Amino acid sequence: MKISVERSQLMTPLQVAHAVVERRQTLPILANVLIRADADGFRLSATDLEVELLIPGKLEKCLAEGATTLPARKLLDLCRATPEGTLLTIETNGERASVRAGRARFSLSTLPAAEFPGIDVKGDELPLVLSQRDLRRAIETTYFAMAQQDVRYYLNGMLLEIEGGKVRFVATDGHRMAVTDLAVEVPPDASRRIIVPRKTVVETLRILNDVDTPATLSIGRDHLILSAADVVFKSKVIDGTFPDYERVIPRNQDKTIDIDRLAFREALGRVAIFANEKYRSVRLKLEPNLLRLSANNAENEEGEEELEIEYSGGELEIGFNVSYLIDVLGALRSDAVCLQLADSGSSCLLTEPGGGPSRYVIMPMRL
């Protein structure tokens, strides 16, 4: 293989692919990226055996077609250290590859392209065509509630449920939950239910852009394929049973208040300065036409703030993790947020006033 490529044409896909490359690899080849080149350009691949990313790129010249694998980190660092606009010439010779950049020359080790692993996918896929903006927005409003390194491995991901002409995104860490619905054109009887790994969710956000250009999400029984702007992303799914999230959603809450979302978020941010660093608890006290926010810490420091609201029900005092509340308020885009409460021992339901595509459940903390 011998190719000439402009520095930015190689660096851009490398930056995307590098996040997929396994840092603590069990196989040396997983630290490499696969480059296949022909007259139409090049295609770069990276995998950690759980996810696989394929990105196309343009060449200045393809002097000799072929394929090889190169160290992802070294190649990316070399591109970053090369002046903008530099033309790179990459040529393989046996187990080595030479990279020329102007008057500079570098030698990299290679591994055979034939040994580069990929993710095998089987048929029976359900394709969903969505705008990149809508899909990105649905994930952004949900993914922050996923668990991280939980022993309940099925919580370290996001549930995708297709049923009734919509795709539902659900994430929970056992203390909070986010649910977002997105309408989609599928056959009425079509259904799927898979758990997408955390890494896949995060990488999907990196691939999707805030544009109306369509993306195709193909959902199989044991895999997921995202195709967007010529980029193809394959992923295995988590083999497990997601909790019955419908049972967690509170119903018949008798205390409902609408609050200005930004004012509420800013007030929580100020009060949170004085919250216990470990537990991050904040106290909400509901009174007629008034919401009191307060927090204190082990140094006997305290923060308190009041917000005027329209409320005529009974008094209620309840505690929450302030970070969970702020996450929800950051995910919503509406001017106001609706809080539905019952008592100090019941979860809180947060939505847009009048409903909306997203619902959030936060469990209370003991005061």
State which residues form the domain around 316: 249-362
Q: What is the model's pLDDT at position 215?
A: 96
Answer whether residue 258 is part of any domain.
yes
Share the mean pLDDT of the chain: 94
Q: What is the model's pLDDT at position 121?
A: 83
CA distance 289 to 227: 50
Residue 266 backbone phi and psi in degrees, to 5? -65, -40
Q: What is the model's pLDDT at position 129?
A: 94
Q: What is the model's pLDDT at position 45?
A: 97
Looking at the structure, tell me whether residues 213 and 254 fall in a common domain. Answer: no
Looking at the structure, tell me whether residues 130 and 239 fall in a common domain. Answer: yes
- DSSP letter string over 13-38? HHHHHHTTS-TT-SSGGGGEEEEEEE
CA distances to 129, 259, 285 from 164, in Å: 16, 32, 40
Looking at the structure, tell me whether residues 89 and 27 fall in a common domain. Answer: yes
Q: What is the model's pLDDT at position 19?
A: 86
Question: Picking from 118-122, 148-152, 217-221, 236-240, which range would have the lowest pLDDT averaged per residue?
Answer: 118-122
Looking at the structure, tell me whether residues 235 and 334 fall in a common domain. Answer: no
Looking at the structure, tell me whether residues 79 and 147 fall in a common domain. Answer: no
Looking at the structure, tell me whether residues 255 and 238 fall in a common domain. Answer: no
> By percentage, how much of the chain surpasses pLDDT 90?
88
**pLDDT mean over 210-239:** 94
Closest CA to 19 of 179, 140, 256, 198: 198
**Per-residue pLDDT tens over the stretch 197-206:** 999 999 999 9
pLDDT at 123 over 80: no
Answer whether residue 268 is part of any domain.
yes
CA distance 40 to 34: 16
Answer whether residue 367 is part of any domain.
no
Domain-ending residue, one of 229, 246, 263: 246
> Going by DSSP bridges, is the β-strand pair 281-287/96-101 parallel, antiparallel, or unpaired?
unpaired
Answer whether residue 343 is part of any domain.
yes
Answer whether residue 121 is part of any domain.
no
Write down the H helix ranges in the chain: 7-18, 72-80, 132-140, 198-207, 261-272, 322-331
Looking at the structure, tell me whether residues 229 and 274 fall in a common domain. Answer: no
Query: Taking a C-beta distance cutoff of 8 angstroms, is the pair 334, 261 a contact?
Result: yes
Q: What is the model's pLDDT at position 93?
A: 93
Answer whether residue 169 is part of any domain.
yes
The phi-psi region of residue 361 (left if phi > 0; otherwise alpha if psi is between -120 and 50; otherwise beta) is beta
Q: What is the model's pLDDT at position 29?
A: 94
Residue 138 backbone phi and psi in degrees, to 5? -60, -40
Domain-ending residue, one of 74, 89, 115: 115
Query: Taking a C-beta distance cutoff of 8 angstroms, is the pair 84, 7 a contact?
Result: yes
**Three-state DSSP state, 167:** strand
Closest CA to 341 of 312, 309, 307, 318: 318
pLDDT at 363 over 90: yes
Q: What is the model's pLDDT at position 23?
A: 72
Of the pLDDT bands very low, low, confident and very high (cuts 50, 70, 90), residue 145 is very high
**Per-residue pLDDT tens over the stretch 68-106:** 999 999 999 999 999 999 999 999 998 999 999 999 999
Looking at the structure, tell me whether residues 25 and 83 fall in a common domain. Answer: yes
CATH code of the domain in which 56 resides: 3.10.150.10
Looking at the structure, tell me whether residues 201 and 269 fall in a common domain. Answer: no
Residue type at 39?
Answer: A
Looking at the structure, tell me whether residues 210 and 136 fall in a common domain. Answer: yes
Looking at the structure, tell me whether residues 131 and 236 fall in a common domain. Answer: yes
CA distance 228 to 181: 21
Query: How many domains does one find in the chain?
Result: 3
Query: Taking a C-beta distance cutoff of 8 angstroms, is the pair 220, 136 a contact?
Result: no
Answer whether residue 328 is part of any domain.
yes
**pLDDT mean over 323-338:** 97
Residue 271 backbone phi and psi in degrees, to 5? -65, -35
Of the pLDDT bands very low, low, confident and very high (cuts 50, 70, 90), residue 7 is very high
Query: Taking a C-beta distance cutoff of 8 angstroms, is the pair 330, 358 a contact?
Result: no
Looking at the structure, tell me whether residues 197 and 94 fall in a common domain. Answer: no
User: How many alpha carbons fall within 13 Å on the CB side of residue 75?
Assistant: 33
Q: What is the model's pLDDT at position 24?
A: 73
CA distance 197 to 345: 32
- Alpha-carbon torsion angle 228, 231, 237, 238, nearest 10: -100
**Per-residue pLDDT tens over the stretch 251-283:** 989 999 999 999 999 999 999 999 998 899 999
Q: What is the model's pLDDT at position 200?
A: 95
Answer whether residue 223 is part of any domain.
yes
Q: What is the model's pLDDT at position 35?
A: 97
Distance of CA 202 to the CA centre of its chain: 3
Domain-ending residue, one of 95, 115, 135: 115
Beta bridge partners of 61: 4
